[in-house]
Structures are given as C-alpha cells and as structure tokens.
Structure 1
Amino acid sequence: MFRKIATFIHEVKAELRKASWPWDNDPKAKGFQKYKELVDSTLVVLVAMILLAGFVSLFDVIATKVIGLLTGLGH
C-alpha cells in the first residue's frame, strides 16, 4: 500500500513539473513583474465575473417586472 502511495506522489510530482505555471522563472524578475501573467489572468476572471453578475442582475430585474405586469393584469 505504501508503495502505491509513493508511486502516486512521484507521478504527481512528475506531472506538475510538466505544467506551465503562470509566473516568470527568470530570477531577475522581481515583485509583480514575476507574477504578471497570474495578475493579468486574475483581472480577466474578475472582470468576467462582474460582467456576468451584472447581466444576471439585469435579467432578474427585467423578468421580475415582466412577471409582475403579467400577474397584475389578471386581477
């Protein structure tokens, strides 16, 4: 059982070495310059989330008004 766990951990480490990490491996890069790709990707995700939240909120307000009008006509 311990051999399977050790093999699994070794394989995970090997796969993680193959991965493309979102920071610069250049030792000369300092501060945020080292993490430029990571910061840029995070900003893209945050902007997309804000836009999606706005779209869903707008659709919710419109749907609420339309349903309110339709149910208000029946009375």
Structure 2
Amino acid sequence: MKLGSFIGETLGELRKASWPWESDPKIKGVKKYKELIDSTVVVLIAMVLVAGFVQFWDFLHVEIVTFLTNFGH
C-alpha cells in the first residue's frame, strides 16, 4: 500500500517538473535537447575550471611545504 502510494505521488510530481527539452513534437533531433546540451557544456567547463584552480593551489602548497621542509638541510 505504501509503495503504491509513493510511486503514484512520485509520478504526479514528475509530471509537474520542467524538463530540459522542448515539448513541441515538431522539433526533431539534437535541437530538441538544446537546453540540456547547453547546460551540460556549462557544467563541463565549470568542472575543468575548478579542477585547474584546485590543481594550481595544490601545486603551490606542495612547493611551499617542500621548500620549508628542505630549508634547514
């Protein structure tokens, strides 16, 4: 009983959701998923930029710690 109610409520909420593709049946192919593709590209670019930022600071900190630990030798 609870599982059926959960599934019914979940399907109801999914019908209300705004999906990242066009609902117009006249639009075909890749154009239908333009918003989805654009959002994916933005996320991938952001991931690369954040990874580069983290890598730069990690490298800098490793060099500083290495310098300080070898300073007395």
TM-score (norm 2): 0.95
Residues 12-51 of structure 1: matches in 2 within 5 Å?
A: 12-51=10-49
Helix, strand or coil at the partner of 1:74: coil
| Larger relative contact order (CA 8 Å, sep ≥ 6) | 2
Q: Distance in 1 between matches of 2:60 and 2:29?
A: 45
The two structures have a TM-score, normalised by structure 1, of: 0.92
Q: How many residues are paired up?
A: 73
Q: Distance in 2 between matches of 1:10 and 1:29?
A: 30
Percent same amino acid among aligned pairs?
Answer: 56
Structural RMSD (CA): 0.7
Structure 1: gaps (5+ residues): none
1:10-38 per-residue CA deviation (whole Å, 9 max, x = no partner) reads 10000000111000000111111100000
Residue 5 of structure 1 and its aligned partner are, at CA, apart by 1.3
The structure 1 segments of at least 4 consecutive aligned residues displaced by more than 4 Å after TM superposition are none
Name stretches of at least 5 consecutive residues in structure 2 with no aligned partner: none
